[in-house]
Chains A and B, each alone.
Chain A
Amino acid sequence: MTSKRFAACKQLRRKCHSDCIFLPYFPPNNPQRFSYVHRIYGASSVGKMLQQVEEHQRGDVADSLYYEAYWRIKDPVYGCVGIITALHEEIYHVQFQLAKVQAQIDLLYQNGVYTFDS
């Protein structure tokens, strides 16, 4: 048993055992991390999601859940899906700009070819 209860067990008001599945990923010095995840997903969902992956992947699971919970709290309507939409728009915009510049380069090349042939 650890003398410091980890954030998850502290918030859930339960005894923190040394094999607590949350304890490596929700340290006591960052209570917001578990608070956000708990608020959006619930403790049992998070526990299940951690259990269904290999141990070496659990850190990434906890991190990505925190990231998504963070954005869902910040933007309750779209969450991190809003970021995906904005990124798609950015990609479209940059591709469009790139196509324009490529077309201008092609035009210069064509003018160059005509100049060389004459």
Chain B
Amino acid sequence: MASSSSYNSPCAACKFLRRKCLPGCIFSPYFPPEEPQKFINVHKIFGASNVTKLLNELLPHQREDAVNSLAYEAEARVRDPVYGCVGAITFLQRQVERLQKELDAANADLIRYACNEFTPPPPPPPLPIHHNVALRQRPAEFSRRSSMGHGGGGGGFHQTPNFPMPYSLPNWNDHQNPSGDHHYYGGGGGASI
């Protein structure tokens, strides 16, 4: 966990806010001066005072993950002012649905072949590995699991991809870029979490 203090240099937050970075600054452990963009994004979307409130409501050991997830959401919102993270969620949910259908079809074929109902066709092409999808940018570096139904605060939705939505999600296809690429955070310089 990067840390800065007024003895070295001000944290990225205090630098941006042009204030003295005091010992005990709530931002300094999570917004090192080497990563100014992280705080810029978070401040732009959430506001410093809202972030302070959010962090104050959490236990100290939860704050790093909270800041990183806020930074991720903020960057997503800066990149996509209309859908933010929700665009990625829509895309990933559709991918899960597609893969599940493929799996169901493959299982059905396997059962048929195993029962010798008919000769299996030539093997299909290799399974595409979705390098260009956000897998490379998956926020799995979070040292998390506590809020995923394992005893932390909130969450508990990891058992199923059918997450309850407060509203019906936007149509991802309306939001493709002109090249049609689904490059959510898959390129270089994505969410550095």
Contact = CB atoms under 8 A, between A and B. Distances in A.
Interface in B44-103: 44-47, 49-50, 54, 57-58, 62, 65-66, 69-70, 72-73, 77, 81-89, 92-93, 95-96, 99-100, 102-103
Interface residues of B, number: 73
Interface in B154-178: 154-155, 157-158, 161, 163, 165-167, 169-170
Nearest to B126: A102
Contacts of B57: 76
A74 B155 contact: yes
B144 A60 contact: no
Interface residues of A, number: 52
B120 A112 contact: yes
A12 interface: no
Contacts of B86: 63-64, 67-68, 80
Contact of B103 (A66, A72, A94): A94
Contacts of B148: 78, 82, 86
Contacts, number: 192
Interface in B100-152: 100, 102-103, 106-107, 109-110, 113-114, 119-124, 127, 129-130, 133-135, 138-140, 142, 144, 146-148, 152
A77 B62 contact: yes
B147 A101 contact: no
B40 to A, nearest CB: 14
A82 B84 contact: no
Q: Which of A39, A66, A108 has the most CB of B within 10 A?
A: A108
B153 A75 contact: yes
B37 to A, nearest CB: 18
Q: Which of A41, A42, A90 has the most CB of B within 10 A?
A: A90
The 7 closest A-B pairs by CB, nearest first: A75-B154, A87-B92, A81-B69, A64-B86, A88-B138, A101-B106, A94-B99
